[in-house]
Amino acid sequence: MAHFDENARPFSNKWLDERIGINTLKRVLSTEYWIPKNINFLWAMGMVLAATFGMLLISGIFLLMYYIPDTKQAFDSVNYTIMSQVGYGWLWRHIHGVGASVVFLIIYIHMFTGIYYGSYKRGRELIWLSGMLLFVVFSAEAFSGYMLPWGQMSYWAGMVITNLFSGGSLHANGLVEWIRGDYIPGQAYLGRFFMLHVLLLPLVIIGLIVFHFGTLRLPHVNNKDGEEFDFAAEAEKYKAGNKKESKVIPFNPVFLSKDVFVMGIYFIFFFYLVFYHFEFAMDPVNFDPANGLKTPTHIYPEWYFLWSYEILRPFPTDPGLIAFAFAQVIFFALPFLDRSPNVAPANRRGIFKFWFWALLVDMIILTFMGKVPPVQPWSNIGLVAAVTFIALWILLPIITKLEKKL
Ligand code: HEM
């Protein structure tokens, strides 16, 4: 049995180290977790995401104290009880609503930073794949949360999205009813989406964040030039006092202080939205209670789903479903479709540079087209943008195969 110091004060550093190796943990996870110096504020987005998820969890716990998952009471429990009867209920709701919207903005920035710098390649494939799993589960979390106020858009967006599982002309037998627990969204439907939103999906997200951090530990984060170097040797230089010469800094306290600085600026922006512009995160149609007999004239999802919705909409049912399924899974394949050996910023990578900007602009166009009603000329622009999206992904292996080694 290991030797324990009888005189160590309970819960002191020494006491904890002897029992759970707290000093080793600190070294591995913070003071000797090395980060390249050559990175910019975009590398703080991961921590900004983690912090926003924390805000969503805390505000969600407060909302859960008064929310009632019952089709007859859900709408009032949110719009009346929480918003006007509970002290600061409105604040928690605005934090939760704004957080749910802004978290997707940050996720997209984080994803496109990874694509721009090629951070999904050469040892970093699992970082990308775990990130994509987070994206999918976050999407399910946002969708299930959107059902809970049981307003018109909750009901009808839920109807449209669950209808996707009818499988077009395949008429997947009873799958939609199995998902809804009924023929139409009702109590069984609300109950299961409530469970998913407050229990199962948050647990999966927490597990995936831990896994995502784990996948970062060995390959280390990428840097602005995609430069590869010996982290252990650079860390030795740093520890020996050659801090200027070393290409790395410890995560804690040096990089963490920069993360906290970026988070500070982010939270000023975040709370500005919470207090002055929360309405952008709340659809006016959802302030009418759910009514299964009255279809809203125009049904659309929240802004962060619009690009994939617009890939579905311009096509007839079956090709539309295939295109939609393609859009959902294709980002997972990125590390394997990019055939170039170069890990470098897109602006140094020949045709890939154009591919990157074309994809970004195309997804922004799809987002705008997904919001407008399906009338001309928007329908045609949406169709061209949807075909371009698919073509860009089909072209990716070819253009990256042709790329010269830097
Ligand atoms: C939603 C929760 C997420 C959290 C909390 C999170 C957190 C982080 C953190 C802390 C880092 C390291 C620092 C940084 O580069 O920002 C990181 C890196 C990374 N993440 Fe995420 N992430 C999330 C989602 C995603 C998604 C959706 C993707 C894309 C599919 C992704 C892909 C990556 C990649 C490729 C890196 C490596 C960056 C590099 O090596 O330079 N992450 N993530």
369-383 pLDDT per residue, tens? 999 988 999 999 999
pLDDT of residue 208 exceeding 70: yes
Nearest CA to ligand 1 atom 8: 46
Nearest CA to ligand 1 atom 15: 43
The domain limits of the chain are: 21-225+241-299, 302-406
Assigned token pair, 156: 């009808």
Predicted pLDDT of residue 22: 95
- Angle, helix 187-195 to helix 125-147, in steps of 10 degrees: 140
Beta strands in 96-193 (DSSP E): none
Q: Is the CB of 180 under 6 A from ligand 1?
A: no
pLDDT of residue 212 exceeding 90: yes
Predicted pLDDT of residue 298: 87
Confidence tier at 74 by pLDDT (50, 70, 90): very high
Nearest CA to ligand 1 atom 22: 46
Q: Which atom of ligand 1 is nearest to the CA of 220?
A: 40
Predicted pLDDT of residue 169: 66
Q: How far is CA 192 from the centre of its chain?
A: 22
pLDDT of residue 168 exceeding 70: no
Per-residue pLDDT of 351-365, as tens digits, reads 999 999 999 999 999
Q: Give, in degrees to the nearest 5, the angle at Cα 156 between 154 and 161.
A: 95
Dump the DSSP string for 77-114: IIIIIIIIISTTHHHHHHHHHHHHHHHHHHHHHHHHHH
Confidence tier at 121 by pLDDT (50, 70, 90): very high
Assigned fold of 21-225+241-299 = Cytochrome Bc1 Complex; Chain C (1.20.810)
Predicted pLDDT of residue 86: 97
Spacing, Cα 353 to ligand 1 middle (Å): 21
Residue 43 phi, psi (nearest 5): -80, 0
Specify the DSSP class assigned to residue 289: B
- Taking residues 214-228, report their average pLDDT: 94
Q: How far is CA 64 from the centre of its chain?
A: 22
Predicted pLDDT of residue 204: 98
Ligand 1 probe mutation, 39, 41, 42, 49, most atoms within 8 A of CB: 49
Spacing, Cα 6 to ligand 1 middle (Å): 43
Spacing, Cα 296 to ligand 1 middle (Å): 38
Per-residue pLDDT of 11-60, as tens digits, reads 999 999 999 999 999 999 999 999 999 999 999 999 999 999 999 999 99
- Taking residues 339-354, report their average pLDDT: 96
- Taking residues 65-93, report their average pLDDT: 97
- Taking residues 74-95, report their average pLDDT: 97
Our CA dihedral for 140, 146, 149, 155, rounded to 10 degrees, sits at -100
Instruction: Using a pLDDT cut of 70, give the percent of the chain over it.
Output: 98
pLDDT of residue 3 exceeding 90: no
Spacing, Cα 110 to ligand 1 middle (Å): 6
Confidence tier at 175 by pLDDT (50, 70, 90): confident
- Read off the pTM: 0.95
Spacing, Cα 303 to ligand 1 middle (Å): 21
Ligand 1 probe mutation, 122, 208, 212, 229, most atoms within 8 A of CB: 212
Q: Is the CB of 196 under 6 A from ligand 1?
A: no
Contact 33, 250 (CB under 8 A): yes
Instruction: Indicate the SS3 state at residue 203.
Output: helix
pLDDT of residue 217 exceeding 70: yes
- Taking residues 100-124, report their average pLDDT: 97
pLDDT of residue 70 exceeding 80: yes
